[in-house]
Amino acid sequence: MQNSQVCVLSSSFVKSIEHKSQAPSVLYSEIAILGRSNVGKSSIINLLLNNKNLAKSSSTPGKTRLINFFLSSWRLDGVVYDLRFIDFPGFGYAKVSKEERNMWDRNLSAFLKVRDSIKLFIHLIDSRHTNLVIDNEIKNFLNSVLRSDSKILSVFTKSDKLTKNDLTKLKQNNCLCVSHNDKQSIESLRLMILNSLYGV
């Protein structure tokens, strides 16, 4: 697997939804991407799918409450894999009422519990702040909706902002660190996604 290279054949936006009833039909293995606001989620998605214009950041962090679906086809060692990525709004920073936030949390929880086509949850964590309360809450939340046939993958973003010493410490703990200017780290993430889903 180390010598293999993932080729991103195509990537496209599918739709945005507010409620689980609007979700597209289940046709592909699905990967959910979650993290706190300002963790660099849009950048990572665009790099993963090799299209810089797919996922767009809101000018107001935490404001959007839409769930976005993307479809991407990858080829590895002659085999093509069709993957659907689900981009969830960033947690935290939302200037909304407690009632509205609680309603959103209930909708999100309900969606994840019934969407059994999600086989991989990618939890993005800012590598400069690895033990925030909000990330522990996201981790606990994901564990509460995790099924026996799904997995959680923690990915540490913005690793280019770390000192060499701090980056070494993270990697010594077998943490997957990615950054927008390290193509190899994005390739490693692609391979890990395929390995998690298909064992390749």
CA angle 14, 19, 24 (to 5 degrees): 35
| Candidate ranges 20-29, 62-71, 117-126, 158-167; pick with highest mean pLDDT | 117-126
Report yes or no: 150 and 119 within 8 Å, Cβ to Cβ: yes
pLDDT number for residue 81:
97
| Alpha-helix runs per DSSP H in the chain | 41-48, 98-114, 133-145, 164-172, 183-198
pLDDT number for residue 32:
95
Structure tokens at 98: 């407690």
**Sign of the alpha-carbon torsion through 88, 90, 96, 97:** positive
Structure tokens at 133: 């309360």
pLDDT number for residue 61:
52
Check if CATH label 3.40.50.300 holds for domain 7-198.
yes
Sorted by sequence, the CB contacts under 8 Å of residue 110 that are 6+ apart come out as 20
Condensed to tens digits (0 to 9), the pLDDT of residues 129-143 reads 888 898 998 899 899
pLDDT at 1 over 50: no
The pLDDT mean for the chain works out to: 86
pLDDT number for residue 64:
58
Residue whose tokens read 């969407």 = 115
Q: What is the mean pLDDT of residues 22-43?
A: 90
pLDDT number for residue 100:
67
- How many Å apart are CA 137 and CA 189, to the nearest integer? 23
Condensed to tens digits (0 to 9), the pLDDT of residues 140-182 reads 989 988 999 999 999 999 988 888 888 888 887 778 889 888 8
pLDDT at 95 over 70: no
- If one counts every other C-beta atom within 10 angstroms of the C-beta of residue 76, the result is 18
Q: Where are the domains of the chain?
A: 7-198
Condensed to tens digits (0 to 9), the pLDDT of residues 40-93 reads 899 999 999 999 888 876 555 555 578 999 999 999 999 999 999 999 887 765
pLDDT number for residue 167:
85
At position 189, the amino acid (one-letter code) is L
- Chain centroid offset of residue 109 CA: 16
Question: Residue 109: which pLDDT band, with cuts at 50, 70 and 90?
Answer: confident
